Amino acid sequence: MTTPHLKSLIAGQWRDASGPSYTTDYAHDGSVVATLNASTAADVDEAVQAAEKARMKPEWANLKPHERASMLHRIAAGIRERGEELAQLQRLDNGKPIRETRALVASAAGTFQFFAAACETHEDAITPSRGDYVTMSLHEPLGVVGAITPWNSPIASEAQKLAPALAAGCAVVFKPAEITPRMAIELADIAQKAGVPDGIISVLPGKGSIVGEALVRHPLIRRIAFTGGTNVGMGIARIGAEKLMPTSLELGGKSPTIVCADADLDHAVAGVLYGIFSSSGESCIAGSRAFIHASVYDEFKSRLLAGVKALRVGDPISENTQMGPLVSQSHRASVEKYVQLGIDEGAKVLFGGVRPQGATFDKGSYYTPTVMEGLPNSARMCQEEIFGPVLAMLPWSDEADLIAQCNDNVYGLASGIWTKDYKTVWRLGRALQTGTVWVNTYKVFSTSTPFGGVKMSGTGREKGRLGILEYTTQKSYYWGTNEAPMPWATM
């Protein structure tokens, strides 16, 4: 099979970016998936300048909300028409199991459908008058926005930025993760065929230090929507402050999952397994710290280990695979360093902590699901984001101490509670410093519900009906209705 050469969409034209050629690899076996050219700062400037012109042309700026909604519906339909193809392409892009990539593609289509409805039904306000005038508050598009997306769930993350931005009337310049550019490219192609005018969307793969830096600093970029690492997000926030530019930053996490004494252990075990080991743990909301009540700790551990041993790690193309490879050899090395750090800190490895053996795994970047215990919450392995299939188990008995430990972390993205008592849910949920609290479930999402974090997990929210407003600026109008001239002028 011939390795495809991917073109970038720059200022309305499909062409090679002006930087050096590079390849993307399949995490399952290291084979080359595609070749493409990296973008440069010059490509960024060309794309942004073109976007600024395109957004002000009548064919985009004058679209009525229902017309913009129809375009978003066509994008959703285009994603669904190519659903299986896109799922297979994303499997090759980052090694996720095929069942998971199908779900991500379906989620992306649903995101465009949701924001089509939100766009068409959004209402501005006539505010209460306090004089001889009518007052109105209207939301208008910010302008050209930059979207920087991660490698772990490309098409879903890109849809969560592109759909509300288009709904608001903005133009978007995408910087996808260097190693997983395919989904942004395909999504732009679908949007273009759905009628989005040339120049409104550009896709610029390449290094964050080059493309991302140029995008964030460009004077015509009015907003950055970023999903990725905390250190990079902090850098974007600093530049945003210098430009007085709004940013939304969905960053790292070290999410606690609480199993109470009265929890349904069948449900809790299944939820904890899914929360940390689905997506091979390469998820910002992975439930990587499991706090288990001391009275059920041993029974929970026994059931959990039985579940871990039964997990099917293997080829992402298989319908039965639950865990595929990590995204790259270098990322696997990072996960391995954290596991060794945990051992050095005194952890006991209950399961995993090694590379799986066998022909299926030899060429890929696979790692076994890993469960560890014996560490205090203050240990580095319990404090820092690993972004891999590594679970730390910690017993608890005192609720006040539990809450303190859960919150004793720089991150605050998500959390989970397993209990049958609604009063416990309310008490713990209100005390946890996280943007999302899952109760007797984990890692489920709705496009209609805002998502984001607190503390070092970021700022701003994506999704939800008001997600469009993140891409708008608010303008107030005063419409005089008095019959006589202003009295000051006639004194």
Residues of the chain with pLDDT under 70: 1
263 near 420, Cβ under 8 Å?
A: yes
Residue 265 half-sphere exposure toward CB, CA atoms < 13 A: 16
Question: What is the structure's pLDDT at 454?
Answer: 97
Region of residue 219 (phi > 0: left; psi between -120 and 50: alpha; otherwise: beta): alpha
User: What tokens does 145 get?
Assistant: 């926005």
Residues 370 and 74: their CA atoms lie apart, in Å, by: 43
Q: DSSP letter string over 238-274?
A: HHHHHHT--EEEE-----EEEE-TTS-HHHHHHHHHH
Residues 171 and 165: their CA atoms lie apart, in Å, by: 7
Q: How far apart are the first and last CA of the chain?
A: 85
pLDDT, tens only, 57-92: 999 999 999 999 999 999 999 999 999 999 999 999
Q: Which of 158, 178, 186, 250 is catalytic?
A: 250
205 near 17, Cβ under 8 Å?
A: yes
296 near 261, Cβ under 8 Å?
A: yes
DSSP class of residue 470 equals G
170 as an active site residue: the answer is no
250 as an active site residue: the answer is yes
Between the CA of residue 141 and those of 53, 171, 447, 462, what are the distances in Å? Answer: 14, 9, 21, 16
Residues 97 and 92: their CA atoms lie apart, in Å, by: 9
Between the CA of residue 455 and those of 147, 398, 409, 425, 433, what are the distances in Å? Answer: 22, 25, 9, 22, 8
Q: DSSP letter string over 407-464?
A: H-SSEESEEEEE-S-HHHHHHHHHHS--SEEEES--S---TTS-B--EETTEES-BSS
Q: Which of 284, 336, 382, 462 is catalytic?
A: 284
Query: The dihedral of CA 139, 140, 142, 147: what is its sign?
Result: positive
pLDDT, tens only, 373-390: 999 999 999 999 999 999
Question: What is the structure's pLDDT at 1?
Answer: 60
